[in-house]
Amino acid sequence: MSLTTENAGQIESAILPGMLIRACDPQATSPVTMAGADGVSMQVMVGQQDRAPNFAMRHFVVGPGGHTPRHEHPYEHEVYIVEGNFEVFCDGQTQSVKAGDVLMVPSNVTHQFVNTGSGAGRFLCMVPMASDCGQEVPGT
């Protein structure tokens, strides 16, 4: 199999035209500047720049004690915990989750991820490219 290398640890397949292969690299993430975020960075794994028609996949890294903003939006998202331990706030309740867990966060529900571990935590988050209202979803 012959692969060509792109910058920032991204790899595209030369054998399977149109297929994108990209490594999750915590060093390639950029800080999340949304109000309420603390110690969070993100890497878009698949998104608009890749001409993905329906969904985006984002890789989040949350430092120890860090957290995503407590927020809500008009679209669901699916989350896979790659590494670490989190306390997830969702619709007024909290739940502990760990590496290997999968979550579905409904639309229009207040939610937040808090890293409760001693090291960095990571998760993949899949969101639609557009919300129910047809507006572009941030971070896609």
Which domains can be identified in the chain, with CATH numbers? 24-128 (2.60.120.10)
Q: pTM of this prediction?
A: 0.84
> Cα dihedral sign for 89, 93, 94, 100?
negative
CA angle 14, 19, 20 (to 5 degrees): 90
Looking at residue 134, its pLDDT comes to 54
Looking at residue 7, its pLDDT comes to 44
Q: Is the pLDDT of residue 37 over 60?
A: yes
At 62-105, the pLDDT tens digits run 999 999 999 998 889 999 999 999 999 999 999 999 999 999 99
107 φψ region: left (φ > 0), alpha (ψ -120 to 50), beta (else): beta
Q: Is the pLDDT of residue 21 over 90?
A: no
Structure tokens at 44: 């878009």
The span from the CA of 5 to the CA of 98, in Å, is: 32
